[in-house]
Amino acid sequence: MGNIVAIVGRPNVGKSTLFNRLTESRAAIVDGEEGVTRDRHYGTSEWNGKTFSVIDTGGYVTNSEDVFEEAIRKQAAIAMDEADVILFMVDVQNGITDLDQSVANILRRINKPVLLVVNKVDNNDLNLDATEFYGLGYEKLYSISSNSGSGTGDLLDEVTNLL
């Protein structure tokens, strides 16, 4: 296996926030509002003595539904081409959206390990809400808060197991 991890997901779920936390850089720009187009960004991270690259695939965001779909295809293409492990991020505070389903549909066709990451689980009540995302068809999910870093240790343990 190589050592590239890609973060994929619809806009505003917190991809860039996690990227910044993992890479301890400000290379990815966190946008408070949707509708801003950004390129993808690469950074380097280390966990359990393993060094790996992280791709924030969060660019291509616009307000048109059509372009959302196109953006998601591009994200998936990047992940398919370049990544060894894919983090599929969703937002517990929004629940499952149509765009999450679109991402899930595309990722189902990728023959690479995909970890479902439920972000914005900022407290224990939200931990219960996170179980809704089993509806996307994954056997396991990783509840994290990219803001606080909570849950990211377990996630990175699994990522480094897979690399």
The three-state secondary structure class of 114 is: strand
Footprint on residues 24-63 left by Mg ion (CB under 5 A)? 58
CB-nearest residue to Mg ion? 58
User: Pairing state of beta strands 114-119 and 141-143?
Assistant: parallel
Q: Is residue 16 near Mg ion by the rule CB under 5 A? A: yes
- The residue range among 25-33, 40-48, 78-86, 106-114 that interacts with ligand GDP, by the rule CB under 6 A, is 25-33
- Residue count at the site for ligand GDP (CB under 6 A)? 18
60-99 footprint of ligand GDP as x/- string (CB under 6 A): ----------------------------------------
User: Pairing state of beta strands 41-47 and 114-119?
Assistant: unpaired
Residues in touch with ligand GDP (CB under 6 A): 9, 11-17, 30-32, 58, 119-120, 122, 145-147
Applying CB under 5 A, which residues contact Mg ion?
Answer: 15-16, 58
